[in-house]
Amino acid sequence: MKIAFISPFYPYRGGIAQFADSLYLELSRSNELLAVNYKRQYPKFLFPGSTQYVSDSDKNRKINSLRITDSLNPFSWKKVSRAITDFRADVALLSYWMPFFAPSLGNIAGSLKKNKIKTIGLLHNVRSHEKMVFHNLFAGYFFRRCDGLVVLNRKAAEELKEIVPDAKYEILFHPFYNHYGIKISRSEALNKLNIDENKKVVLFFGFIRDYKGLDILIEAMSSLDDSYVLIIAGEVYGDFRKYDELINKLKLDRQIIKHIRYIPESEIPLFFSAADVCVLPYRSASQSGITGIAYHFDVPVIVTDVGGLAEEVIDMKTGIITKPVSEIISSALRDYFEKNLRNQFIGEIRNYRTERSWEKFTEKLVQFISNVIRQYK
C-alpha cells in the first residue's frame, strides 16, 4: 500500500513527532511511505516553549521527510496535495492534535478527496487541552472531510461522537515507546543526580503545562516525610515562578529536585532509572506518551482518572489510578511504598508492553485503512 503521512517528524520535538517517527518506521516495513513534514507548525507567538526543535543530542531516526507543510500558508496546502497526488498514494494519514490545524488539514483532505485519495485522520486529541473558541466548528470541519478517523482511547471516541455523531472511526490504543535506550542501575542514576539511595524517588517528567497538575503533586509532597523526594524534569510552557512560590511556601526545597529544561533523549534513561514511580497528576488529558516511556523502563505509574489517561493503566497491576487531589495522591504514594508494590507491578508491565507494541498497533491500523478503502471503492 502507498501511504502518505502528514505530521510533524524529526527535527520537531514532542509526543506527536515521536509518535509519527515510530509509526512511520513500523508502517514502512511492508508499505511504501511518503512522509510530509512541516516547514512551519506554529507562528512563534503561539508556541510557549523555548524552541519547537530537538537538541543536537536527540536521536535522528533517519526519516526522509518532505518539509513543505505550512499551517498558515494556503499555497503550501496545494503543494502538499500535489505531492501526495504525484506520489499516487492509496491513502493519506493526517496527524491532528488541536483545532489550530483544522483549516489546513481540512483543506488538504478535501483536495485529496477530489483526486480520489482516501484520508484517515489520526486524532491525538479530539478536544484541545486549552479551551478554544469555535473548537467544535473547526474540529468538525476537518473530521467530516476524512473518510475514516483513528482515536487513541475510548474517551476520545465519546468526544468524537459528540462532534460528528456518524463518524467512521476505530479505537487503537497508544503503543508504548521502545526507542529510548536501556536503563542504567538505580544506584548509578541516583549518584549522577546526587540523590541518596535510601530516598523514595517520585518523578514528574515532560513538558510542564497548567493542565498537567504539577502544583497538585507539589502539594501532595507536603503531606509526605523527608524520605520522599520529587524530581521535576522538563521544560516549562509559561513561567515556573508560581511553582517555585508554592515550593517555598510549603518549605519543600529539600524534597524537590528541579531540572527545569528540555530533557534530550540521551538523558531520559537517567531520570527513569532513578525513579521508583512516575506520577501524572493531570487535571485533563487525552492520553500521554509519558506512561509508555515509564513502562519502557519498568517504572510503574500513578495517574489521575481524567480523559483517556487511566485507560493506559491496569489499576493495581501496572500502576495506580487516583484522583487529581493532593491528599489522595499522597495517600496513593504512601500505599505504593509501604506495600512495596513496585516489584509486583513490574512483571505486569512487561506483559502489558507486548500487548501494546507498535507492530500490533500498525497491523490494526492497516486493516482499518484497508476496510475504509474497500468501502469507498
Q: What is the pLDDT of residues 252-305, one digit of tens each?
A: 999 999 999 999 889 999 999 999 999 999 998 777 889 999 999 999 999 999
Q: What is the per-residue pLDDT for 130?
A: 63
Q: Which residues contact 314 (CB under 8 A, 6 or more apart)?
A: 348, 352
Q: pLDDT band for position 54 (50/70/90)?
A: confident
**pTM for the full predicted model:** 0.85
Q: Which residue has the higher pLDDT, 231 or 375?
A: 231
107, 172, 360 from 23: Cα distances, Å = 24, 13, 11
Q: Is the CB of residue 123 less than 8 Å from the CB of residue 160?
A: yes
Q: Which residues contact 283 (CB under 8 A, 6 or more apart)?
A: 210, 211, 212, 213, 216, 304, 306, 324
What mean pLDDT is reported for the chain?
93
CA-CA distance, 156 to 126, in Å (whole number)?
6
Q: Which amino acid is at 363?
A: E
186-355 shares the fold of 2-175+357-375 = yes
Q: What is the per-residue pLDDT for 72?
A: 94
Q: Give one DSSP letter per residue of 52-76, joined into a string.
A: SB--TTS------EEEEEETT-HHH
The burial of 62, by beta-carbon neighbours within 10 Å (0-12 exposed, 13-18 middle, 19 or more buried), is given as exposed
Q: pLDDT band for position 308 (50/70/90)?
A: confident
Q: What is the per-residue pLDDT for 354?
A: 85
Q: What is the per-residue pLDDT for 83?
A: 98
Domain boundaries, the chain: 2-175+357-375, 186-355
Domain 2-175+357-375 has CATH 3.40.50.2000: yes
How many helices (H) and strands (E) would you count in the chain? Answer: 13, 13
CA-CA distance, 147 to 149, in Å (whole number)?
7
What's the alpha-carbon Rg for the chain, to the nearest Å?
A: 21
pLDDT at 61 over 70: yes
CA-CA distance, 318 to 305, in Å (whole number)?
14
Q: pLDDT band for position 50 (50/70/90)?
A: low
- Considering the segment(s) 186-355 as one domain, its CATH architecture is 3-Layer(aba) Sandwich (3.40)
Q: Is the CB of residue 151 less than 8 Å from the CB of residue 169?
A: yes
Structure confidence by residue, pLDDT tens digits, 118-165: 999 999 999 876 666 678 889 999 999 999 999 999 999 999 999 999
- Residue 360 is given by DSSP the state H
Q: Which residue has the higher pLDDT, 135 or 359?
A: 359
